[in-house]
Amino acid sequence: MTKRAVVVGGGIAGLITLYRIRQQSPDTDAVLLEASPRLGGKILTTSFLGRPIDEAADAFISRVPWALELCEELGLDNFLISPATTDAYVLVDGELRKLPEGLLLGVPTKLLPLLRSRIVSPLAVLRAGLDRIRPDDWPGDDESVGGLIRRRMGDQIADRLVDPLIGSINAGDTDHLDVALAAPQLETASRRHRSLIAGLKEQTKISPENTKPLFLSFENGMGHLVKVLVNALGDADIRTNTRVTSIANNDGYLNITTNGATIESDVVVLATPAHQAANLLSSCSSAASRLSSIEHASVALVTMGFRRSDVHHPLDGSGVLVPHTEGLLTTAISWGSSKWPHWVDDEHAVFRVSAGRAGDTRALALDDDDLVEALLTEIAHILHIEGSLIEWRVSRWIDAFPQYAPGHDRLVSAIERDLRTEMPGVFLTGAAYRGLGIPACIRQGGECADAALDYLTAK
């Protein structure tokens, strides 16, 4: 008898799960249900001033293989582009300071350039240098990113360099993010070496690919990946505008209730954010309550277009990080038209301004007009902009960033155990669990397809 696998959620993790299931088991009746009218989830490329811009993810990291391997498999490797510049700034006491060379995930591995950058005080540079001689003071598992950096390098490095960078990737507060999950490179370096700087330097030496571009995207924006993947899915049964409202056990099968019908399936893969998965699994109360304990942060991204001549800054970099200690709504300004070749035209400067993170919902509480005005005031001051905005777009991403609190990994394992005993046949995948970047979602989608097919074979 044909077995059925239903994937709920058409973001990158759900699409990859469907793709792998169809590739490895063409006889399985594989269906994807997506609540919204479009596929891609947090990958969304739209047109702005006649150019393709990304309203959420605008790149993927190349240091881990999964996204690159998929690009090769889909014949996309020739369309990859990298940022025009890797220079960037950080705002310190209202002034822009260029990030020094030798930073790895915001951690300085070279102290002289750090001193010259004037991002932290000379005393803070000395404090960071103590990392080389201080004894090992590792407190055990479940350390936060902030905990590690504060103990090895001091508060200014944590607040002005590492938190703005890793915090903005996760829309989180690094004092509450698990270092092993949010910054595994830092965790490995600190475990292998007494000194964090020495550990990071060693990693750079043994990974020659570290000299290749760190971030990659596509000439037509990240949406190109979704488009090509959906094309590769051919005649797959993909149903948009189909919101799943509950999943229940029914005598060895799973009943999936949607806004239109009830579907019976052998396997269900939930590729939705964790809070959505919790709602769908209310009949498995332990998994549901654990899933709802995963916090999510919201962000607003405002894309703003100006006449280039109205911006009195050379824009010689990819953007600005704004530490939370500056007290602004803005957390980062990506200089899209300086960073990405496909955003560039001679006449305009296009910026993507981020606001909001875990524990700071001030920006999200504003309506669109007030938000644009508040961010415009902030960035006009930072970048010396005179003249008015010529186009803008507000993209709100509500409860979009899962916060990997220390111990998150154990929490996810416990949820998977709950499901195995109470809802066999239900699997979880996607950003909420084991890595939120696009490559990690691609990896998890593939692993989840394997697990689901193993379950079907054994059933």
Residues within the interface to ligand FAD (CB under 6 A): 8-14, 33-36, 41-43, 56-60, 243-244, 271-273, 276, 299, 301, 397, 400, 430-431, 436-438, 441
Contact 161, 107 (CB under 8 A): yes
Contact 302, 394 (CB under 8 A): yes
Least distance in Å: CB of 60 to ligand FAD?
5
Least distance in Å: CB of 83 to ligand FAD?
11
Q: Tell me whether residue 66 or residue 455 sits nearer to ligand FAD (CB atom).
A: 66
Spell out a b/e string for 244-270, using b for 16 or more CB atoms within 10 Å of the CB, else e: beebbeeeeebbbebeeeebebbbbbb
Q: Tell me whether residue 45 or residue 272 sits nearer to ligand FAD (CB atom).
A: 272
Q: Tell me whether residue 69 or residue 202 sits nearer to ligand FAD (CB atom).
A: 69
Least distance in Å: CB of 300 to ligand FAD?
9
> CA 39: distance to chain centroid?
17
Distance between CA 221 and CA 203 in Å, rounded?
31
Q: Tell me whether residue 130 or residue 398 sits nearer to ligand FAD (CB atom).
A: 398
Least distance in Å: CB of 44 to ligand FAD?
9
Q: Any idea what the Cα angle at residue 92 is, between residues 87 and 95, rounded to 5°?
A: 80
Token pair, residue 224, equals 């190109």
Q: Tell me whether residue 42 or residue 224 sits nearer to ligand FAD (CB atom).
A: 42
Q: Tell me whether residue 41 or residue 154 sits nearer to ligand FAD (CB atom).
A: 41
Least distance in Å: CB of 446 to ligand FAD?
13
Partners of residue 310 on adjacent β-strands: none
Least distance in Å: CB of 367 to ligand FAD?
19
Instruction: Please report how the helices 196-206 and 184-192 are oriented relative to each other, as an axis angle in degrees rounded to 10.
Output: 110
Q: Tell me whether residue 425 or residue 430 sits nearer to ligand FAD (CB atom).
A: 430
Distance between CA 286 and CA 130 in Å, rounded?
46
List Cα–Cα distances, 309 to 88, 312, 375, in angstroms: 21, 7, 20
Least distance in Å: CB of 338 to ligand FAD?
16
Distance between CA 269 and CA 400 in Å, rounded?
19
Least distance in Å: CB of 154 to ligand FAD?
29
Least distance in Å: CB of 395 to ligand FAD?
7
Least distance in Å: CB of 313 to ligand FAD?
23
Token pair, residue 408, equals 């998150």
Distance between CA 338 and CA 33 in Å, rounded?
38
Closest among 280, 412, 398 to 8, alpha carbons compared: 280
Specify the 3-state DSSP secondary structure of 419: helix
- 């006009």: which residue's tokens? 380
Q: Tell me whether residue 260 or residue 387 sits nearer to ligand FAD (CB atom).
A: 260
Specify the 3-state DSSP secondary structure of 408: helix
Q: Tell me whether residue 158 or residue 169 sits nearer to ligand FAD (CB atom).
A: 169
Q: Tell me whether residue 117 or residue 170 sits nearer to ligand FAD (CB atom).
A: 170
Token pair, residue 38, equals 């479009």
Q: Tell me whether residue 119 or residue 442 sits nearer to ligand FAD (CB atom).
A: 442
Token pair, residue 383, equals 């970048």
Contact 314, 337 (CB under 8 A): no
Contact 376, 311 (CB under 8 A): no
Least distance in Å: CB of 262 to ligand FAD?
14
| Burial (Cβ within 10 Å: 0-12, 13-18, ≥19) of residue 29 | middle
Contact 255, 101 (CB under 8 A): no
Distance between CA 316 and CA 339 in Å, rounded?
9
